[in-house]
Structure 1
């Protein structure tokens, strides 16, 4: 059965007249003259196929067909009004869903403060958080399965994505607490040459992996990898068991393991970057909201230098 099209002005006129049961009063409430109101009702009745009102001198009442239509008409108008409000809220970036990927170690640095601040500003936004290493985050951004990435050592160039540094931090040596070098306050990278290493697989973060191995190469040796681990807490746990040593971002010192010692390294100039990543020209207003929370430029720009707020969030080294 073909469903009749019911224009919203006709439904609105019908509901108002059903409430007023007086053409003059209903026309005044609608802000129109009485003849146009009568025309709207007649058109609606033509579409329904039956009279909706009984018109008698000095009296207007709903027919059985009108009484049946009234709840549905009210529901339709209310649903539309609610939908318009919801659409405006989503369009303004005050509500909606934002999917965020983050590297696990960032739960020790920027992530908690960022999420807390964003939720305080936009409590109606649903945050969908995904723990992911750098390479999966980049793939998820391209696949549009996340909207924002928080990752370490972004690629040098990506035509579709924007990147901005939000934090830099030095590296530290991660040692079993019984390791001879744990007695020192500072460890020279070359002193690690004879120790096996626990490292992240290159596939999950190529730039960070290469940065760590380059530190070793510059110190005159190639690290002998005894074990790989995908996340820094696992790296530290394997170091605690004595499987090897590692070089890690300084924030890993917040991973509390009794059998692990974290020591500053020489050279001190080596630092790792944490960046926010997004799709350029992403129309989702929540992306711009989150970037603003971080103090970054909106997603239709490709900034190239860290902002002052990001520099103030460096952890103590």
Structure 2
């Protein structure tokens, strides 16, 4: 009995309907009937009782079903494992993320990916603000979902997954805290708390030195950790720009998030090493794209839809 014939027999034993079995296996009902008749000739006994109203397994059919089911399952699992190995879908993936909302997307995508590729273990990490590209370069991360822009010759920029409005984190007792919105020009009127460890072009976009009208933006303290940024703002040492969504995850009684009315949005995208474009990385990127698209659709549009590489 050939593998395809076993598949047809087991499917009919489950469906007990020639039409449904044919649809499930993408064959014609005649093909199903021919396969079963051939099996019955080889065995020398009926496997199914057919009437105009129903199909039932005979006792010998039940015996054959029970004897074949486990073996067929093992064959399918072995074939799937071999296919996964051949496609590079085994081993481990190490995924980094920059913020809590990026982490939520990565976790959701990982759940889907693990279902599709159970032989590939996925590990998730929060990315450091200090040298976020280092883990990609030393091989300890395969992918990162972080804020853009990143323009490095050894790093591949994948798709932009979403963007978020920008806000300014200010001390709760600061005059800005009473405003409904702030302007980029307002940055000239308060020390700007910045971070270190990022490329200069990244810092120039997120922590500019001058306003759009050319006014100098004073510098406050600099740090390498997001919680330290919030602590410095809460202590009245200055203000700092961020995604407006941070207010949902990092609320404190000593700070206020005030939306910008004229700042560009914060974009988030996937990055990987130029030497790490392997099948399982590409498969995970596709899974994240699908997950982000579903979330965007569920939100009724919302943030920018993901764009394929």
Report the TM-score, using the length of structure 1 for normalisation. Answer: 0.59
Structure 2 counterpart SS, 1:187: coil
C-alpha distance after superposition, 1:1-26 (max 9, x if no partner): xxxxxxxxxxxxxxxxxxxxxxxxxx
Provide the residue aligned with 2:268 in structure 1. Answer: 274
Q: Which runs of 4+ in 1 moved over 6 A?
A: 82-85, 306-311
CA distance in 2, matches of 1:252, 1:169: 10
Deviations 1:108-152 (A, max 9, x none): x23213312322441534222232246734333233221111121
Change (3 A) 1:280 1:84: farther
Is 1:213 the counterpart of 2:207 in the alignment?
Answer: yes
Provide Cα deviations, 1:139-188, integer angstroms capped at 9, x if missing partner.
33233221111121132353552332111122111111111121110112
Instruction: After TM superposition, give the deviation of residue 236 of structure 1 in Å.
Output: 1.7
Matches within 5 A, 1:5-20: none
Q: Would the aligned equivalents of 1:162 and 1:280 in 2 still touch at CA under 8 Å? A: no
Q: Pick from 242, 245, 252: which aligns with 1:251?
A: 245
Aligned pairs for 1:164-179 (under 5 A) are 164-179=159-174
Correspondence for 1:314 among 283, 303, 307: 303
Do the aligned residues in 2 keep the contact of 1:170 with 1:249 (CA within 8 Å)? Answer: yes
Structure 1 residues 137 and 180: alpha-carbon distance in aligned structure 2, compared to 1, 3 A threshold: closer
Give the drift of 1:241.
1.6
2:220 pairs, out of 226, 237, 244, with 226
Cα root mean square deviation, aligned: 3.3
Report which of the two structures shows the higher radius of gyration computed on alpha carbons: 1
1:142 corresponds to: 137
Distance in 2, Cα, partners of 1:137 & 1:118: 21
Corresponding residue of 1:260: 255
**Secondary structure of the structure 1 residue equivalent to 2:182:** strand
| SS of structure 2 residue aligned to 1:208 | helix
Structure 2: gaps (5+ residues): 1-76, 305-309
Contact between 2:105 and 2:288, CA under 8 Å: does it hold in 1?
no
Per the alignment, do residues 213 and 284 of structure 1 end up closer, same or farther by CA in structure 2, a change over 3 Å counting?
Answer: closer
Q: CA deviation at 1:282?
A: 3.6
Find the partner of 1:294 among 264, 288, 298.
Answer: 288
Measured in 2, the distance between the counterparts of 1:231 and 1:313 equals 29
TM-aligned CA distance change 1:309 to 1:256, over 3 Å? closer
Tell me by how many angstroms 1:310 deviates. Answer: 6.6
1:39-66 deviation line (CA, Å, top 9, x unaligned): xxxxxxxxxxxxxxxxxxxxxxxxxxxx
1:119 maps to which residue? 111
C-alpha separation in 1, matches of 2:82 and 2:151: 37
Equivalent residues, number? 220
Q: Distance in 2 between matches of 1:97 and 1:210?
A: 36
- In 1, the alpha carbon distance for the partners of 2:275 and 2:162 equals 23
Look up the SS of the partner of 1:217 in the other structure.
coil
1:241 aligns with 2:230: no
Query: 1:167-215: CA deviations, max 9, x gaps?
Result: 11221111111111211101123233232221112x3253332113337
Residues 167 and 313 of structure 1 are in contact (CA less than 8 Å); yes or no, is this contact kept in structure 2? no
Q: Is the 8 A contact 2:157 2:269 kept in 1?
A: no
